[in-house]
Amino acid sequence: MPCVYILQCSDGSFYVGSTRDLAQRLTQHHEGKGAAYTRRRRPVTLVWAMELERVDEAYYLEKQVQGWGREKRIALIEGRFEDLPALARKGRQAGAAELSPEFRARAPLEP
């Protein structure tokens, strides 16, 4: 099932990705065969993931979250959805978007 995920890297930074097979993709990241970004920042820890119905939904949400700042990503990881609109307004100059209502209603996977 398609999903979007956030990894916390060893340097404290976050990596946002999407995949059709989360378990396989996590193995790739752990083995250094994932993205170049995570390869240089191992070990990585899965801190948030959400399954979606369609690949295009996962890709759209991935790109949306990639455009967010650190503070907003942390709010998402912690499940503080009520904070997302204020953080979106705070970062609007940089093009930050609010989490779409259809994604907000879905429950994230347990990391």
Domain around 50: 3-104
| One pLDDT digit (tens) per residue for the chain, 111 residues | 999 999 999 999 999 999 999 999 999 999 999 899 999 999 999 999 999 999 999 999 999 999 999 999 999 999 999 999 888 766 554 444 456 666 656 666 665
Q: Is 88 inside a domain boundary?
A: yes
Burial class (CB in 10 A: 0-12, 13-18, 19+), 24: exposed
What distance lies between CA 102 and its chain's CA centroid? Answer: 16
Q: Is 53 inside a domain boundary?
A: yes
Q: Is 58 inside a domain boundary?
A: yes
Q: Is 10 inside a domain boundary?
A: yes
Residue 69 belongs to domain with CATH number: 3.40.1440
How many domains would you assign to the chain? Answer: 1
In sequence order, what are the beta bridge partners of 51?
3
CA distance 74 to 54: 25
Q: Is 86 inside a domain boundary?
A: yes
CA distance 98 to 31: 33
